Amino acid sequence: MRDPDEIVQLAGAPVIGTVLRDEALERRHVIDRTSVNRTAEDYRQLRNNLQFLNVDEPPKVIMVSSAVPSEGKTTAVVNLGLALADAGRRVTIVEADLRKPKVTRYLGMVGGVGLSNILADTADLDDVLQRYGTGELSVIAAGPTPPNPGELLSSRHMFALLDKLRAANDFVLVDAPPLLPVADSTGLAVYMDGVLLSVRYGSTRKEQLQQAAATLERVGAKALGVILNIVPPKAELASAYGYGYSYGYGKDEPGGGATR
């Protein structure tokens, strides 16, 4: 998928962020928020747009998923979480991809005990909640991979945990597995205020996005928005920016100058 208008139509939700492909991010997973760079600005834009969604009843407990693997979900969760924490929002990231947990790896944190332990009643939230740096971001690692991730993630325990997290945070970001290959995210989606779909530019196929959106609709989950992810800097994507913002990064850089 490349055409933002088509993506909006198939996902049934607006594009609320576009993240360019960034080689440094691919290696380090966490953007350098201290320097002026385009990807950091992409994530700040995503954060700002997220805060404009449903202003009467703003979504707090938000799952990030995608149709298929490797669409940039986990990287998006981690950096969106950091961008929200930078703005002083209390955020907890839940590493809910119990089969391929990568949040803690990307953040350089410990992954041993976590969500699966809480859900199996072998640990309490306070025992496993980790603070990232000195800011407002906390993380719940996945914990050991259980034989039945889908069942755990759709359990009443999970619902109770999310309720607790909702009370203690401004945002709870749930890093979920992709929707099409496994059913894990489907059961989880019903507990969410909404779902952000990551779509990898030029890679996700039309029918895959369509099926992912249909899966969410079938369980009554709300698609809040699309993150158009890993976009080659040269791609012409002017129409993805329906918000009237423009900023000048990249205009003078070699290879930059994409219409934004």
Ligand X SMILES: Nc1ncnc2c1ncn2[C@@H]1O[C@H](COP(=O)(O)OP(=O)(O)OP(=O)(O)O)[C@@H](O)[C@H]1O
Answer for which of 38, 44, 47, 73 binds ligand X (CB under 6 A) is 73
d(CA 257, CA 210): 31
Q: Which of 192, 248, 184 is nearest to 225 (CA)?
A: 192
| Residue 8, token pair as written in the block | 């909006």
**Per-residue x/- mask for ligand X, residues 196 to 235, rule CB under 6 A?**
----------------------------------x-----
Answer for which of 69, 135, 233, 242 binds ligand X (CB under 6 A) is 69
Where do we find the tokens 């970001």? Answer: 173
Decide which of Mg ion, ligand X, none touches 178; Cβ closer than 5 to 8 Å per partner kind: ligand X
Decide which of ligand X, Mg ion, none touches 90; Cβ closer than 5 to 8 Å per partner kind: none
- Does position 111 bind ligand X by CB under 6 A? no
- Does position 38 bind ligand X by CB under 6 A? no
Beta carbon of residue 5, minimum distance to Mg ion (angstroms, whole number): 27
Q: Which residues of 11-29 are buried (b: 16+ CB within 10 A; e: fewer)?
A: bebbbbbbbbbbeebeeeb
What are the residues binding ligand X (CB under 6 A)? 19, 21-22, 25-26, 29, 66, 69-75, 97, 100, 102, 178, 230
